[in-house]
C-alpha cells in the first residue's frame, strides 16, 4: 500500500509538473517552428535549393574561404536557377548563358537593381544620397551618372589616341622596371596594380603617381585590405547574419578604411578647386563640376552632387584597378605555363608591327591570334566570377520560377565562361576557342567576363584597350619565363569578388629581335 501510495504521490507530483511544463514546451516548440519556418521558408514556386539550417542557412554546406566546389555540387543537383540561404539571407544563383541572358538582357528592367544592405555599399558609401555608380539602385540617378561617365571617358580620349598615349606611357614604366630586373625573377603583383591604378588616375585627376607617393601607397594597400575583408568570412558574415553588425568585429576595419579613402579624395578635391577654370576641364573632376554647375544654372533636375562625385571617384578607381591588374597577372602566368601560345603571339606581333615604334589599337584587326589569346586569358582568368550581385526591381519570373521583388541575384559569370557546349574546349587554355576554321577571330555569345545587360561593366572599353596595349607592348619586348626554382605554375585562382592568381614571380628576358 505504502509503495502504491508512494507511486501514486510520485505520479501525482509528476503530473503536476507536467501541467506547467507541457504548455510551456509546446509554446516554445511552436515559436521555434514558426521562427524556423519564416527564416527558411521559400515562397511558392521559388527556385529550389538545399534545405537550410536555422540562422546559418546553408553556410555549413560551404567552405567560407573557397565555396566554389560546394556551390558547383548544388548547381548540379538543382539546375541552372537555384536558391541558397547565406545565413538568414536568401539569394538566387543564375548559371549558364541561356538563363543569364534571359534575366539580364530580356528581362533587364526586372533584374538590374542592387540591394542597399550589402556590406560594401554600407562601408563604401554610407550616405544614402551618394551611392556611387557600381552599387547604386537602378534609378534615374544611376542612369544620369552612367551616361555622364561614359561620355566623359570618351571625351578624355577613349577610342582616341590620347588614351593610347596614356596607357603606353604607363606601360613604358613597366618596361623600364623589367629591363632593370635583368632577367632575374621579380614579383609582378604591385607593378601591375600600380599601372592600372595610374591609368585610371590620369582620367580622374590628370595625375601620374610615383609608386612611392603617399596617395598611391595608401590606395594600393587600401584596395588589397578592403577586398580581403569584403571577400573574407567576416564580410560574408556581415551580409548573412544582420544581428552581428553591431559587434566590434573585424569588418569594422573596412568601414574605417573607406572613411579614410573619402578623406583622401576630399584633399585632392580641395587642392584641385584652387586651380580649376570652369569650362576648361582637365580631368574627370573638372568635367563633373562643370556639368553640376550647368545643371544648376539651367535649373535642370539632376542628381549630380559633390558627395556623389567623391563616391563615383572611389567606384571608378576601385573598379578599374584590381580587375585589370589581376587579368594581366593571370595572362602572364598562362603565357609562361603555355610558352607555345606566347611564341605564336610574338610571331604575329613582330609580323604586323615590323619596325613601327609603338602598337596602336587599330593593329588589333590584323592580329586575330593575339586577340584570341587575350580573350582566352579573360575567359580563363575569370576575374569577376560572380559579377556584382544584382537584385530584382519587382515580382518577376525566370524559366518558370517565381522570384519576388528585392531578391538577391547572383549572376554566375564563371558558369558561362566554362559552359559545356559553348566552347570548343571549355576546360583548357586554348586560344582557338576564339578562332574559326579560317583562323579569323570570333567572339562566342558566352564570352561575358564584363557581364551583360544595362549593368554591363562601364569600363569595358578602357579595360580592353589596356589589356591589348599592355600585353602587346610587353610581349614584343620580353620573353616571359617561369623561374626554374619555382616548381610548377599553379593556375588555381584565389577566390574573391575579384579573383587573383596565387602570388608568383616571373623572369622577363629581353628579346633579341628588338633593340
Ligand atoms: C578586365 C577588367 C574588368 C573586368 C573583368 C570588369 C568586370 C565587371 C563586372 C563583371 C561588372 C558587373 C556588371 C554587372 O553588375 O552585371 C563590372 C561593373 C563595373 N565596372 Fe568593370 N571590369 C573591369 C574593368 C573596369 C574598369 C577599368 C573600370 C573603370 C572605368 C570599370 C568600371 C566598372 C563600373 C563603374 C561598373 C558598374 C556598372 C554599373 O553598375 O552600372 N571596370 N565590371
Ligand atoms: C558558378 O559556376 C561555376 C562553374 O560551373 C561553379 O564552379 C560555381 O560553383 C558556381 N557558383 C555558384 C555560386 O553557383
Ligand atoms: C530574348 O531576346 C532575344 C533577342 O531579342 C530573342 O531572340 C529571344 O527569343 C528572347 N528570349 C525569350 C525567352 O524571349
Mean pLDDT of the chain: 87
Q: In this predicted model, what pLDDT tens digit does every residue of 102-143 receive, in sequence order? A: 999 999 999 999 998 888 888 888 888 899 999 999 999 999
- Cα–Cα nearest to 137, from 1, 310, 308: 308
Quote the cell numbers at residue 49. Answer: 535549393
What's the 102 CA to ligand 3 centre distance in angstroms?
7
First CA to last CA distance, the chain: 114
Task: State residue 448's pLDDT score.
Answer: 97
Please indicate, yes or no, if residue 14 is contained in any of the structural domains. Answer: no
Got the DSSP string for 352-416?
HHTT-SS--GGGGGG-HHHHHHHHHHHHHH-SSTT-S-EE-SSSEEETTEEE-TT-EEEE-HHHH
Residue position matching grid coordinates 584652387:
274
- Cα 59 to the chain's mean position, in Å? 22
Q: Atom 7 in ligand 1: which residue has the minimum CA distance?
A: 450
Distance CA 384, CA 449 (A): 7
* Residue 87 banded pLDDT, cuts 50, 70, 90: low
Q: Atom 5 in ligand 3: which residue has the minimum CA distance?
A: 106
Quote the cell numbers at residue 223. Answer: 584596395
| Residue range 477-488: mean pLDDT, rounded | 94
Task: State residue 2's pLDDT score.
Answer: 42
Task: State residue 64's pLDDT score.
Answer: 58
What is the DSSP secondary structure assignment for residue 447, as one 8-state letter?
Answer: -
Please indicate, yes or no, if residue 25 is contained in any of the structural domains. Answer: no
> Is residue 295 within 8 Å of residue 303, measured between CB atoms?
no
| Residue range 76-88: mean pLDDT, rounded | 79
Whether the CB of 95 sits within 6 Å of ligand 2? yes
Whether the CB of 75 sits within 6 Å of ligand 2? yes
Q: In this predicted model, what pLDDT tens digit does every residue of 204-236 receive, in sequence order? A: 988 778 878 888 888 888 888 888 787 777 777
Please indicate, yes or no, if residue 84 is contained in any of the structural domains. Answer: yes
Q: Atom 5 in ligand 2: which residue has the minimum CA distance?
A: 415
What's the 53 CA to ligand 3 centre distance in angstroms?
38
Q: Which residue has the higher pLDDT, 375 or 17?
A: 375
> Is residue 128 within 8 Å of residue 139, measured between CB atoms?
no
Number of structural domains (the chain) is 1
Give the domain range for residue 100.
30-514
- 3-class secondary structure per residue, 402-468: EECCCCEEEECHHHHHCCCCCCCCCCCCCHHHHECCCCCECCCCCCCCCCCCCCCCCCHHHHHHHHH
Strand order in the sheet with 408-411: 81-86, 89-94, 408-411, 390-391
Quote the cell numbers at residue 45. Answer: 514556386
Task: State residue 225's pLDDT score.
Answer: 84
Share of the chain above pLDDT 90, in %: 56
> Is residue 148 within 8 Å of residue 288, measured between CB atoms?
yes
Nearest-atom index, ligand 1, CA of 142: 41
Instruction: Give the chain's radius of gyration (CA, Å).
Output: 27
The Cα-based distances of 449 to 21, 85, 411, 456 in angstroms read: 59, 25, 11, 9
Task: State residue 56's pLDDT score.
Answer: 60
Q: Which residue has the higher pLDDT, 238 or 382?
A: 382
CB atoms within 10 A of CB 322: 23
* Residue 12 banded pLDDT, cuts 50, 70, 90: very low
Task: State residue 63's pLDDT score.
Answer: 62
Task: State residue 8's pLDDT score.
Answer: 46
Q: Which residue has the higher pLDDT, 267 or 28?
A: 267
| Residue range 470-496: mean pLDDT, rounded | 93
Task: State residue 234's pLDDT score.
Answer: 75
Please indicate, yes or no, if residue 500 is contained in any of the structural domains. Answer: yes
CATH classification at residue 327: 1.10.630.10
Q: Is the pLDDT of residue 67 over 70?
A: no
Which parts are annotated binding residues for heme?
457
- Cα–Cα nearest to 451, from 67, 94, 46: 94
> Is residue 448 within 8 Å of residue 377, measured between CB atoms?
no
> Is residue 94 within 8 Å of residue 409, measured between CB atoms?
yes
For the chain, how many residues are written? 515
Q: Atom 6 in ligand 3: which residue has the minimum CA distance?
A: 106
Task: State residue 52's pLDDT score.
Answer: 66
Task: State residue 120's pLDDT score.
Answer: 83
Q: In this predicted model, what pLDDT tens digit does every residue of 276-327 receive, in sequence order? A: 999 988 889 999 999 999 988 888 788 899 999 999 999 999 999 999 999 9
Which sign, positive or negative, has the C-alpha torsion 241, 96, 321, 150? negative
Q: Is the pLDDT of residue 422 over 90?
A: yes
Phi, psi at 283, each rounded to 5°:
-165, -175
Please indicate, yes or no, if residue 11 is contained in any of the structural domains. Answer: no
Q: In this predicted model, what pLDDT tens digit does every residue of 439-456 receive, in sequence order? A: 999 999 999 999 999 999
| Residue range 449-465: mean pLDDT, rounded | 97
Whether the CB of 327 sits within 6 Å of ligand 1? yes
What's the 319 CA to ligand 1 centre distance in angstroms?
6
CB atoms within 10 A of CB 248: 6
Q: Is the pLDDT of residue 6 over 60?
A: no
The Cα-based distances of 251 to 23, 121, 388 in angstroms read: 42, 13, 19
Task: State residue 180's pLDDT score.
Answer: 94
Task: State residue 49's pLDDT score.
Answer: 81
Q: In this predicted model, what pLDDT tens digit does every residue of 331-365 receive, in sequence order? A: 999 999 999 999 999 999 999 999 999 999 999 99
Phi, psi at 420, each rounded to 5°:
-65, 140
Q: Which residue has the higher pLDDT, 118 or 167?
A: 167
Amino acid at each position: 500500500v505504502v509503495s502504491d501510495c508512494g507511486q501514486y504521490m510520485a505520479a501525482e507530483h509528476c503530473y503536476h509538473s507536467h501541467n506547467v511544463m507541457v504548455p510551456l514546451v509546446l509554446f516554445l516548440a511552436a515559436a521555434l517552428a514558426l521562427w524556423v519556418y519564416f527564416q527558411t521558408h521559400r515562397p511558392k514556386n521559388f527556385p529550389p535549393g538545399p534545405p537550410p539550417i536555422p540562422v546559418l542557412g546553408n553556410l555549413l554546406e560551404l567552405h567560407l574561404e573557397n565555396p566554389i566546389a560546394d556551390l558547383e555540387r548544388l548547381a548540379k543537383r538543382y539546375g541552372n536557377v537555384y536558391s541558397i540561404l547565406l545565413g538568414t539571407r536568401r539569394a538566387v544563383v543564375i548559371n549558364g548563358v541561356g538563363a543569364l541572358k534571359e534575366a539580364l538582357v530580356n528581362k533587364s528592367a526586372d533584374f538590374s537593381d542592387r540591394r542597399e544592405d550589402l556590406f560594401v555599399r554600407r562601408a563604401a558609401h554610407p550616405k544614402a544620397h551618394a551611392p556611387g555608380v557600381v552599387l547604386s539602385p537602378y534609378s534615374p540617378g544611376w542612369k544620369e551618372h552612367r551616361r555622364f561617365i561614359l561620355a566623359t571617358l570618351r571625351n578624355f580620349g577613349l577610342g582616341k589616341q590620347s588614351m593610347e598615349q596614356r596607357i603606353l606611357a604607363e606601360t613604358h614604366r613597366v618596361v623600364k622596371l623589367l629591363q632593370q630586373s635583368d632577367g632575374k625573377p621579380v614579383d609582378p603583383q604591385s607593378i601591375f596594380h600600380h599601372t592600372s591604378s595610374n591609368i585610371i588616375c590620369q582620367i580622374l585627376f590628370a595625375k601620374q603617381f610615383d609608386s612611392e607617393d603617399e596617395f598611391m601607397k595608401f590606395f594600393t594597400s587600401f584596395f588589397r585590405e578592403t577586398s580581403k575583408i569584403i571577400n573574407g568570412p567576416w564580410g560574408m558574415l556581415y551580409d548573412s547574419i544582420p544581428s552581428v553588425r553591431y559587434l566590434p568585429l573585424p569588418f569594422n576595419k573596412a568601414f574605417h578604411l573607406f572613411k579614410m579613402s573619402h578623406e583622401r579624395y576630399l584633399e585632392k578635391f580641395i587642392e584641385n578647386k584652387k586651380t580649376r577654370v570652369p569650362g576648361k576641364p582637365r580631368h574627370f573632376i573638372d568635367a563633373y563640376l562643370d556639368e553640376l554647375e550647368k545643371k544648376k544654372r539651367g535649373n535642370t533636375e539632376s542628381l549630380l552632387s559633390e558627395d556623389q562625385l567623391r563616391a563615383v571617384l572611389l567606384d571608378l578607381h576601385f573598379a578599374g584597378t584590381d580587375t585589370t591588374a589581376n587579368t594581366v597577372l593571370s595572362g602572364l602566368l598562362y603565357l609562361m605555363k603555355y610558352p607555345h601560345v606566347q611564341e605564336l603571339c610574338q610571331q604575329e606581333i613582330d609580323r604586323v608591327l615590323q619596325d613601327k615604334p609603338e602598337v596602336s589599337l587599330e593593329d588589333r584587326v590584323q592580329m586575330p591570334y593575339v586577340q584570341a589569346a587575350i580573350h582566352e586569358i579573360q575567359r580563363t582568368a575569370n576575374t569577376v566570377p560572380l559579377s556584382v550581385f544584382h537584385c530584382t526591381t519587382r515580382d518577376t519570373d525566370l524559366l518558370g520560377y517565381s522570384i519576388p521583388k528585392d531578391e538577391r541575384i547572383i549572376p554566375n559569370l564563371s558558369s558561362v565562361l566554362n559552359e559545356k557546349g559553348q566552347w570548343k574546349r571549355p576546360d583548357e587554355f586554348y586560344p582557338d576557342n576564339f578562332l574559326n576554321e579560317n583562323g579569323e577571330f570570333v567572339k562566342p555569345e558566352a564570352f561575358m567576363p564584363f557581364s551583360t545587360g544595362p549593368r554591363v561593366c562601364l569600363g569595358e572599353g578602357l579595360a580592353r584597350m589596356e589589356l591589348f596595349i599592355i600585353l602587346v607592348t610587353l610581349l614584343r619586348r620580353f620573353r616571359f619565363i617561369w623561374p626554374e626554382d619555382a616548381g610548377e605554375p599553379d593556375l588555381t585562382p584565389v577566390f574573391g569578388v575579384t579573383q587573383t592568381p596565387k602570388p608568383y614571380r616571373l623572369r622577363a628576358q629581353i628579346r633579341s629581335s628588338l633593340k
